[in-house]
Amino acid sequence: MSTMAVPPEPPHVLAVDDSIVDRAVISRLLRSSKYQVTTVDSGKRALEFLSLDSNVHMIITDYCMPEMSGYDLLKRVKETAELREIPVVIMSSENSPARIRMCLEEGAEDFLIKPVRPSDVSRLCSRLITR
């Protein structure tokens, strides 16, 4: 199994959450794990950002957002040739097996229950490096 070379710059994560509090917390969590982080408040803005800057190594998105849910964002990413290789992690405060299954079947890299812990982020980091 080939391992992806660790990029010389910190991995760039796009964090998507409509909650300003959650954006602050997830952003700090990721930065303390040495990620470079961009935060946006909606799926729509995430897609706009990705159309301008595809140098994103991972997307981490809240599930429950108005207009475009994290699941809808996941589908759009996986349906887009230029974006489909970017791992997408879903976060949700609801521990719903049906929701988790649906997201994983759609190609989500992982599904985290909020509040996200530093150990969750460490696990993601390890998987990103060994993908």
Partner 1 sequence: MDYSNLRRQAASMKKSLFDQGYLDEQFCQVEDLQDEASPNFAEEVITLFFKDSARLISNIEQALEKYPKDFNKWDAYMQQLKGSCSSIGASRMKSECMSFREFCGQGNVEGCMKSFQKVKREHGVLRQKLEAYFQLLRQAGPAGAATRPGM
Cβ 7 to partner 1 shortest distance, Å: 22
Residue 1 lies near partner 1 (rule: CB under 8 A): no
Give burial (CB, 10 Å; 0-12/13-18/19+) of 8.
Answer: exposed
Residues within window 33-72 making contact with partner 1, judged by CB under 8 A: 64
Instruction: Tell whether residue 115 is a contact of partner 1 (CB under 8 A).
Output: yes
Q: How far is the CB of 123 from partner 1 (least distance, A)?
A: 16
Residue-wise over 90-116: b if at least 16 C-beta within 10 A, else e? Answer: bbbeeeeeebbebbeebebbbbbebeb
Interface with partner 1 by CB under 8 A: which residues? 18-22, 24-25, 28-29, 32, 64, 93, 114-115, 117-118
